[in-house]
Structure 1
């Protein structure tokens, strides 16, 4: 062979083969073929799916009107013009949002399109320019795209700038490559979409205490959330293994609790991530777990003259003192603990905007730890050392922790989220936790568990994290089972029409993940939960399959290492792998 190396020849042949395929829409599915000259044959799978599939291949699929004409228009990405106005802050935000849109569209950058192309004008009309993102933010939007013969006009209207953001995310999915070498970008000549999420809280939990995660890893997961219209990053930032959150008032927390000087989240890191997430429609819900899951990082109290802030820290044999090693629980008998907590909460309030929610953990308190601590036994004095007595102590701690938090915030209006525990059982919760202040995050086996219904009847708001479907760490330890994307998708949240069902979260607990593997453990399965939480579809995963495969490809194109869920052959031959995996 002369002129070309064997490797170069192989690559050229591979490229030519890859671009020889076409797709034809048949019965709502895109089937692959070698034909090029037939009618209704599309040069790329993305183009075929835009023309062929329900909901225009949008993920998550819209909950309202979806109308379109099946005429193609080609756009010139160099001539996309945005139109908007607002306050100084909102103009800055919307300007950054347009940069975000253009940067994402560049991933589809055409090369010398040989078709007639038109300018795109995008008009952004929010009813409010408020930049606060919380549980009550209206994220709905309407998108109208119309080709007038000279240019393509896109009007996105929404009650808030965050609705506009979701509308732009949808628009990104409606612009697809065309041409046998993907030279052009196409969309439809007329599209109407109205869309609003079914649930207010659509979350992903990241755990940075078991294994430290870099800022880049956190950001790439936020990117995946943005692409899937998820809106809450639940950051489980501390646990008994480490305390990586830098507190300016309490430098000993990271001195004693961080894995190392480079495994620390500084205040400026938190503020950067808050801004990064906000532009992507995501708010950060920070969790400082307690009174259990609190060991390393709290052990400096005695040296500082404050007594033991935590007890049972690193105590062995661990099975006698905690659910999971290393052991450690906060010391409710030490009044200095609440002064320290107030300082910690004050630092956190200065790092994070007020979103009206904060997570205090509150699960897996291990009574034998407290019962084995003489200081706590003395604190209880003549009270009988029964389970009820220790529950009362636990509730006393929670009340004082809430007072410390309220003092730091300066008001008593924020809601505190707690995991389900002995204190949240229906027969005792009203005694310990007022429904006006607490949101209960349920980690029961199924989304239809009776506990959820009981909590709703008592007037509590709930967030659902079904552990036997939405715990993404399962299947890699013990006897737990791995849940594929279909299982995640079909995990129906409790009756969405009940206003007290705020939504749900998928959880990536961090014992067996770090920067090297976390993306493929989370994605694309979290995207399956995203459609459940945005749309709550009545249909099964089978009917979402082709759109889901398209969303996986979008995530990968954005630089997210989303793991494969099927052979590529099944993606290219729609409908042929219905029973596969």
Structure 2
């Protein structure tokens, strides 16, 4: 009896093991062959993650493929979405990633476009490459209507993209009014090409027929990076430029010096970094700057360098007396700092010392060699602390025949500004460059016309959203403005003092002053550098800066709620390009659109 029971137990155990093995086999087969896929809800345009089963509803192997086909046809999951016309057929075509060829014009633009081709190949959204059967070859035609290679505030970035299919050849024609329009068209094409797994093969999937006409609403679409408070490596700056290019931003506003440090190597003024750099390795050489300028240009980004003054200038300027030039700056590192500046350490340029202007001219000349003049230069001009000059004997001697009133000090500040522009013009050899300054006491509507001619100056506003009257007044007076809304686009806020953190929705919903007003050149999001360095600046900036990128490219009438699916997709693109971006929502919400609309 015991033997019989044992045999029955063994037989049952064997059957259990066989059943378990079969179950594991089925699970592995199901997971490998079917696994997760995505289904399009044509009612709301959302892609939802499902387990593939026999169904009449089409499913797609990846979320990226689903989002090409699902949703509003005038978006195509692009970021920023185009401002012009879009037509497309919701039909997938597979591309052989190993057989992509380019046709370029044999003109002066060819070298630049060759670099754009290299950029395209390095950013193809594909993890591996293997022969892809039953797929089309792709030919990409790039054409610029202009041979002008200069990148300025007035550069035309318009482009069109059109596809066609003949036999086994998929043809993409990208035409730009300039090479920078062509570059933006390439960026759009990269977003339209997504991986498609076929067994061991990886193809590229795209829409069979697409036509896009696109151009930005605003000419100035910027990100400010501050590498003076904390040094940012050249590689970190490059990665931010990469993210800007992916988002079609076109201005890196480089706040490179401040009272804390002077890390910019000026070949004719070696004492600036000797006295001002944190370490001998925390320096941007002229070669570093030139290479960054070239790197950025291929990505459609121009570098707008800011040398702040007369305030925010301290360390790096202390060598004047030893060199027989007198005090180039005053109140440097003076304590108690609250009596001499807005933020420690203190320091302001010395408007009473003529040698200071000679040094400025040399500095501007060196910068001109590193950053070719693009017709615009930033001179800072914010947070001048009158109490510093009012406590400096040589400054008081300089204005001794005038009353010690606010107007006298504003006159002195304006004198500094006019002399600085004069030596800038002398250094670069022309007087046509537009000068950007921050809003300040000098730019108040009741005094600005006395001090700053509207033909020469662009005003960058950093007032809160509630202070639209200042922007209105400046525009009515005829000034061009760049908007950096302090309580929406200051990305350093929320980590110090009583400031608030602005999530991507707040950044996106910051409506520009007017889409149609020509006096608004554009805007910038700003990452001031007190609390960021190489370890965290990418995640503090991205993907929030990309929300501003669409605001500045398209200035959409809809809110962040309508854009969130495309935004989360774009964040995934940035991650795949190696950016350490901040997570905005759980991955489940990305994979199940519309299920987390009230999250956060």
Normalising TM by the smaller chain, what interval? over 0.9
Give the Å deviation of 1:106.
5.8
Say whether 1:124 aligns with 2:142: yes
Q: Deviations over 1:335-368 (max 9, x none)?
A: 1111000000000001111210000000000000
CA drift at 1:110: 4.5
After TM superposition, give the deviation of residue 235 of structure 1 in Å.
Answer: 0.1
Specify the alignment match of 1:24 in structure 2. 39
In 2, the alpha carbon distance for the partners of 1:94 and 1:283 equals 17
- Equivalence for 1:148: 166
The Cα of 1:518 is off from its aligned counterpart by: 0.4
Measure, in 2, the Cα distance between the counterparts of 1:14 and 1:312.
Answer: 74
What residue in structure 1 maps to residue 588 of structure 2?
569
Q: Which residue of 1 aligns with 2:371?
A: 352
C-alpha distance after superposition, 1:44-65 (max 9, x if no partner): 0000000013310000000011
Q: Distance in 1 between matches of 2:29 and 2:435?
A: 56
Instruction: Answer whether contact 1:435 1:460 (CA < 8 A) is retained.
Output: yes
Aligned to 1:338: 357
Decide which structure has the larger Cα Rg and report it: 2
Contact 2:268–2:362 (CA under 8 A) maintained in structure 1? yes
**RMSD (CA atoms):** 1.7
Alpha-carbon distance in 1 for matches of 2:34, 2:190:
23
**Equivalent in 145, 160, 177 of residue 159 of structure 1:** 177
Q: Structure 1's 415 and 447: CA in aligned 2 closer, same or farther, altered over 3 A?
A: farther
Match for residue 193 of structure 2 among 151, 154, 175: 175
Per-residue deviation, 1:325:
0.2
Distance 1:18 1:543 in 2: 34
Structure 1 segment 372-411 matched on structure 2, within 5 A: 372-411=391-430
For 1:534, what is the secondary structure of its paired residue? Answer: helix
Pairwise mapping of residues 410-425 of structure 1 onto structure 2 (< 5 A)?
Answer: 410-425=429-444
Aligned to 1:505: 524
Does 2:230 correspond to 1:211? yes
Match of residue 308 from structure 1: 327
Shift of 1:449: 1.2
**How far, CA to CA, are the matches of 2:394 and 2:124 in structure 1?**
61
Distance, in Å, in 2 between the alignment partners of 1:448 and 1:17 is: 58
Which region of structure 1 is more displaced relative to structure 2, 479-488 or 90-99? 90-99
Is 1:429 the counterpart of 2:467? The answer is no
Unpaired runs of at least 5, structure 1: 1-8
Question: Match for residue 3 of structure 1?
Answer: none
Distance (Å, rounded) in 2 between the aligned partners of 1:40 and 1:158: 37
Tell me, yes or no, if the aligned pair for 2:162 and 2:173 is still in contact at 8 Å: yes
Give the distance between the partners of 2:313 and 2:30, measured in 1 at CA.
55
Asked if the contact 1:43–1:180 (Cα under 8 Å) also holds between the matched residues in 2, the reply is no
TM-score, normalised relative to structure 1: 0.96
TM superposition shift of 1:79? 1.1
What are the ranges of 5 or more consecutive residues in structure 2 without an aligned counterpart?
A: 1-23
- The answer to whether the aligner puts 1:514 opposite 2:529 as a matched pair is no
Q: Please say if residues 447 and 492 of structure 1, whose CA atoms lie closer than 8 Å, have aligned partners that are also in contact.
A: no
SS in 2 for 1:285: strand
Q: For residue 250 of structure 2, what is the aligned residue in structure 1? A: 231
Shift of 1:37: 4.3
With structure 2 as the length reference, what TM-score do the two structures score? 0.93
Match of 1:64 in 2: 84
Give aligned pairs, total: 569
For 1:513-532, list aligned pairs within 5 A: 513-532=532-551
Deviation at 1:130, TM superposition (A): 1.2
1:495 aligns to what?
A: 514
